[in-house]
Structure 1
Amino acid sequence: MTLGLGTGAFVKSVAGHDKGGYFFIIREEGEYIYLVDGKYRRLDCPKKKKKKHVEPLLWEKHSPGVKIRENKSVTDEEIKHFIRWFKREEQVVRR
């Protein structure tokens, strides 16, 4: 397992049609992970992707990833809101 990549991790896609997108890992199977963003890739239909095609983002503050890791109930709405919030925060930091 690559450092920072595990169930509940917040990641950015670095390859494929979804390059630049933000996701949470909800499951792992060997070299593959299953990703959700709450909007296009919902909890009931996650995106299967190779681990090497994402990079971990070190962000835990207010993250639904904590709930995912602890097997607590999380909704698509929570994931979507967090990603939207993160994108706004990222724009503020870049200015």
Structure 2
Amino acid sequence: MTRKLPTFLISAMLLACGSAVLAQPVAMEERLLERGAVADSTPQQKYRTAINEAGGGYKLYLEDCATKAAAERTACRREAKAVYDRDMAAARQLLRK
């Protein structure tokens, strides 16, 4: 004989499972923030951070360009590349200090 669980109990179980799944990304994000809270102290660390930020900014800029009209897209991509190149040049300067 099988027993049927009450609907409220099933809902509570699903909610508890969902909360556990959602808690994992939050914990991961907190660990990443804690790791990033340590300031870069060497030129190599500063360079690495700068190139990561340049790459991330370039990616976001290109995503923004993709939403523009076709006539504006080429100019937007050209500008994104110029900003990226400038950021990378600044990152290389960090190694020379």
Q: Please, what TM-score do these two structures have when normalized by structure 2? A: 0.27
Structure with bigger RCO (C-alpha 8 Å, 6+ apart): 2
Higher strand proportion (structure 1 or 2): 1
Higher helix proportion (structure 1 or 2): 2
Q: Please, what TM-score do these two structures have when normalized by structure 1? A: 0.28
Decide which structure has the larger Cα Rg and report it.
Answer: 2
